[in-house]
Structure 1
Amino acid sequence: MYRFLLTPRWLGGTAVGLVAIVVCLLLGSWQLGRFEDRVGTQRDLADAAAATGPAVPLGTVLDGEQARVSTDTVGRAVTVTGDYDAARQLLVPNRTVDGRQGYYVLTPLRTPDGRAVAVVRGWAAGEPGAAPQVPGGAVSVTGRLQAPETSGSGGAVAGGLPAGQLGTISPATLVNALPYPVYDGWVAADEAPAGLTAVPTVRPQGGDGLSLRAFQNLGYTLEWFVFAGFVVFMWYRLVRREAEAVQDRALGLDPAL
């Protein structure tokens, strides 16, 4: 019944199908390799950003008013000089450090360029309470750059907080609490005052995830493998149809009917 597979037409068609399958598998494997490379690059960037290194001025990392914190710069060691605005210190509740619930102590640090950076001087366990005294005069802070929080990322309720508390650390919320422009993101100070604990680097949700290009490579991988499966499926369907036609002719039936 399947002797027709040995005819030149079917041998040629099968060879073309095999070539198409191999090409699809090779292209799919190449796209999968690109996906794995992008994942590795993403992890390397995250590790490099978090690695301990010499601190650089904040202005060199966030250059220009429109500069934004990215996955490449989260965890970067930075220095910033200015004056703390003690009158506008904020407490950020519902923040977890080492598995314990507590709050951040956030003090705006005004820089010579007129903008301020939100400096989290440390974390304390329990409900928001008293905060350590704010140093007066010019200070230089060394810490790690953090990404702006998304709404509810810390578990705090954005609305209904008492005066002096902040639900989410981001330029969108700080603009309502401070009368001057602020840098994107915030800085977790390396040295916390007595009674506070230094805040570890906080990875943004999805910060260690995949870029859009990585997802595109993964999608292309799936497409090429589907194409290879489609070639196999079509070859099987054509073989079955030809076999049925051969059988009908052997029984004296018209395959066209």
Structure 2
Amino acid sequence: MMLRPRWIGALIFALALAAGFAALGQWQLERAIESGKAVVAPTETVLPLAQVAKPNGPMTDKSVGQLVEFTGTFVAGDDQLLYDRINYGKSGWWVVSHVDVDAGGGDRIALAVARGWAPDEAAAKSVMARLAQQPEEPQKIVGRILPDEQPQVPGDKKNPRAMTTLGVGQLYNLWTGVDGMDVYNAYVVDRSAPAGLEKIDSPPPIQQTELNWLNIFYAAEWIIFAGFAIFLWYRLVRDAKEREDEERALAAEAAAGDDARAHAGNVE
């Protein structure tokens, strides 16, 4: 039955159709995988701060974690402490400084810079005291820019100024000489650390990936269509065979009836 020319031709057509559907399914699957690949952001290429972030506004997702460089002046005596900051798995203290960024034309923009990490408060305060005595001179700073954090209510009621998060708004209220100044709603983790502090661990941001489930659904549909093409050929062949078997059975019954009637006539 299946070796008849028309069914062989139908099988070839069904296989070609299934191959086309399978190719479309593979194409859709490749698109889903391609769109799910993480786009490697060039965060490790040092860019000018002015190119990455603007003052008085939120950061873009593309800017988060970017290495930046700029010229700025550390404001002596405007350093603050953050406690319970984790560095390489250990809890300790951050020293955060106020930097006036040179925006050109004599303009300045306030920016928070995390200078380094200390294992205890005494070591952090010792570095702060030394930094407060250093001359205010413009210098080039390189670090990773990150969005500011939401301020939290201090757990230590005896020290209402204690901070665990780097909220720019909270620091801005503690800084001197910033009335009317623009400010970056972000902070920079310095790529180096002053003597007495350890460099803060600030790895590149993890690139998130997400598969395109719509393309995967379409790919599954094409595979189902490919299987259906073969199944349809099989059903057509089976139905044709059952129809022919039924016709042969009816013909055999009719022939048997004719023979019976002919034999009865001969007997009479």
Q: Same fold (TM over 0.5)?
A: yes
Q: Tell me if structure 2 keeps the 8 A contact 1:92–1:104.
A: yes
Q: Tell me if structure 2 keeps the 8 A contact 1:142–1:189.
A: yes
Alpha carbons of structure 1 residues 168 and 188: separation in structure 2 relative to 1, 3 Å: same
Counterparts of 2:145 and 2:235, CA distance in 1: 63
Counterparts of 2:236 and 2:216, CA distance in 1: 30
Counterparts of 1:139 and 1:168, CA distance in 2: 27
Count, aligned residues: 227
Alpha carbons of structure 1 residues 161 and 168: separation in structure 2 relative to 1, 3 Å: same
Please, which runs of 5 or more residues in structure 2 have no aligned partner? 248-268
Q: What is the aligned partner in structure 2 of residue 59 from structure 1?
A: 50
- TM-score of the aligned structures, taking structure 2 as reference length: 0.65
Q: What is the aligned partner in structure 2 of residue 91 from structure 1?
A: 81
Deviations 1:78-110 (A, max 9, x none): 1231342634x3322332223322121112223
- Bigger radius of gyration among the two: 2
Q: Tell me if structure 2 keeps the 8 A contact 1:145–1:185.
A: no
Please, which runs of 5 or more residues in structure 1 have no aligned partner? 152-156
More displaced 10-residue stretch of structure 1: 133-142 or 194-203: 133-142
- 2:128 aligned counterpart, secondary structure: coil
Q: What is the aligned partner in structure 2 of residue 110 from structure 1?
A: 100
Alpha carbons of structure 1 residues 83 and 195: separation in structure 2 relative to 1, 3 Å: closer
2:119 equivalent to 1:125: yes
2:204 equivalent to 1:203: yes
Letter paired with 1:100: K
Alpha carbons of structure 1 residues 239 and 92: separation in structure 2 relative to 1, 3 Å: farther
Residue 165 of structure 1, aligned match among 143, 162, 166: 162
Q: Which runs of 4+ in 1 moved over 6 A?
A: none
Alpha carbons of structure 1 residues 227 and 23: separation in structure 2 relative to 1, 3 Å: same
Counterparts of 2:201 and 2:62, CA distance in 1: 16
Q: What is the aligned partner in structure 1 of residue 168 from structure 2?
A: 174
- 1:146 aligned counterpart, secondary structure: strand
- 1:186 aligned counterpart, secondary structure: strand
Aligned residues: CA RMSD: 3.7
Deviations 1:100-153 (A, max 9, x none): 2212111222346453111111111146862522345344251212222566xx
More displaced 10-residue stretch of structure 1: 8-17 or 186-195: 8-17
Q: What is the aligned partner in structure 2 of residue 143 from structure 1?
A: 142
Q: Tell me if structure 1 keeps the 8 A contact 2:14–2:233.
A: no
Counterparts of 1:66 and 1:149, CA distance in 2: 11
Q: Tell me if structure 2 keeps the 8 A contact 1:105–1:122.
A: yes
Deviations 1:58-82 (A, max 9, x none): 3343245436254456342412313
Counterparts of 1:202 and 1:168, CA distance in 2: 18
- Percent of aligned pairs with the same residue? 15
Alpha carbons of structure 1 residues 90 and 236: separation in structure 2 relative to 1, 3 Å: farther
Q: What is the aligned partner in structure 1 of residue 224 from structure 2?
A: 230
Counterparts of 1:251 and 1:126, CA distance in 2: 92
- TM-score of the aligned structures, taking structure 1 as reference length: 0.67
